[in-house]
């Protein structure tokens, strides 16, 4: 049976982890990075010099390129794993058609220019059919993939046969991959959990303990459920790992850049100084604004999102905002 052909778009830690997972099962993948220096280093030293540098690749399995069109032409399944803030700029380089390509979003955020989740962005901007859209969801941190610690993925698509192909291509002795058809719900959950992880980080930075964190996370999953039901109502179990599990690992893990960002804000960093010191994108920053604006129409009860928005975008004092938030949680 002929192997499916995959391309990975992105040069960060999650893209590197995805490339590692695919290389467990594929003879060859194409991999686009815009950084030509990183490509040369990978070719010469067999690892990504900037992210997950302990992961060693057989470069004979990699078609490395800094031309996004070349990578896409070589594949039928295209996995986008770049920060949502940069996706629009990268897609401006596209000259090849996405017709008959399966677009897989490994981006857990909102496109700032359109305020859309990634799947909707491709459908509305590039006329990609919903049957050609898939989402790669967690709970799964790139750093634990690098260490080959048992991790879980959920592959989401309206076409479960497509989801099954992607799942088989990623699974291994340390990757458990299952499928789901809740493409809207899980993509929104993947975006929202980053906001709640920022909130968890803020709480930690402010000195709140484990007891409050537990209350915050239990309220967050209920808030997520209300928001997603307003967006797209269908039968789903919000306690499944793709929703609750992904929320918990992002909210609690030391690998979580969103929690790290929130922690710095809670400790008194400005947004700009936290972003500069991290030198990584915290998707929850952009997601908080988009979710807050969306909810003006949805009118779901979302005190945690409102608190994060007030701190990040209205310059409110975290200590005072969280004091009020504690009175709204139960």
Total-model pTM: 0.92
Cα 63 off chain centre by = 24
Q: Please indicate whether residue 101 is annotated as part of the active site.
A: no
pLDDT tens digit string along 16-53?
Answer: 999 999 999 999 999 999 999 999 999 999 999 999 99
pLDDT tens digit string along 90-105?
Answer: 999 999 999 999 999 9
Portions of the chain given CATH number 1.10.1040.10: 191-326
pLDDT tens digit string along 152-185?
Answer: 999 999 999 999 999 999 999 999 999 999 999 9
pLDDT on residue 113: 84
HSE value, Cβ hemisphere, 13 Å, CA-based, for 144: 17
Portions of the chain given CATH number 3.40.50.720: 6-181
For residue 154, give the H/E element and its range.
Answer: strand 151-157
Q: Is the pLDDT of residue 115 over 90?
A: no
120 pLDDT band (50/70/90 cuts)? Answer: very high
State the CATH class of domain 191-326: mainly alpha
Tokens 């959920």: give the residue: 154
Q: Which of 237, 21, 244, 214 is nearest to 139 (CA)?
A: 244
Beta strands at 29-32 and 62-65: parallel, antiparallel or unpaired: parallel
- 148 Rama class: left (phi>0) / alpha (psi -120 to 50) / beta: left
Average pLDDT in the 264-287 region?
91
d(CA 297, CA 215): 27
The catalytically annotated residue of 101, 193, 225, 289 is 193
pLDDT on residue 1: 65
The second-level CATH assignment, the architecture, of 6-181 is 3-Layer(aba) Sandwich (3.40)
């Amino acid at each position: 049976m002929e192997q499916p052909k995959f391309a990975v778009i992105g040069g960060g830690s999650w893209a590197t982890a995805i490339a590692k997972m695919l290389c467990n099962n594929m003879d060859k993948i194409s991999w686009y990075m815009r950084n030509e220096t990183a490509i040369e280093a990978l070719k010469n030293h067999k690892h990504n010099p900037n992210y997950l540098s302990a992961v060693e690749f057989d470069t004979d399995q990699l078609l490395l390129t800094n031309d996004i069109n070349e990578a896409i032409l070589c594949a039928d399944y295209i996995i986008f794993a770049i920060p949502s803030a940069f996706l629009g700029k990268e897609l401006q380089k596209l000259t090849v058609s996405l017709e008959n390509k399966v677009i897989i979003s490994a981006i857990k955020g909102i496109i700032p220019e359109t305020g859309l989740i990634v799947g909707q962005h491709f459908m509305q901007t590039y006329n990609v059919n919903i049957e050609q859209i898939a989402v790669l969801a967690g709970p799964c941190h790139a750093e634990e993939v690098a260490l080959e610690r048992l991790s879980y993925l959920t592959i989401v698509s309206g076409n479960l046969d497509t989801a099954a192909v992607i799942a088989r291509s990623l699974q291994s002795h340390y990757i458990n991959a299952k499928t789901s058809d809740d493409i809207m719900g899980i993509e929104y959950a993947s975006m929202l959990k980053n906001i709640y992880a920022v909130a968890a980080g803020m709480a930690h930075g402010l000195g709140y303990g484990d007891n409050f964190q537990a209350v915050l996370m239990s309220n967050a999953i209920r808030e997520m459920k209300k928001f997603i039901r307003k967006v797209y109502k269908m039968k789903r179990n919000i306690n499944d790992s793709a929703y609750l599990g992904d929320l918990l690992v992002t909210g609690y893990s030391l690998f979580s850049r969103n929690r790290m960002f929130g922690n710095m804000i809670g400790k008194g960093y400005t947004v700009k100084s936290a972003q500069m010191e991290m030198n990584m994108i915290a998707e929850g920053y952009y997601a908080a604004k988009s979710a807050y604006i969306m909810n003006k129409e949805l009118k779901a009860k979302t005190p945690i999102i409102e608190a994060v928005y007030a701190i990040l975008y209205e310059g409110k004092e975290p200590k005072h905002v969280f004091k009020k938030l504690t009175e709204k949680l139960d």
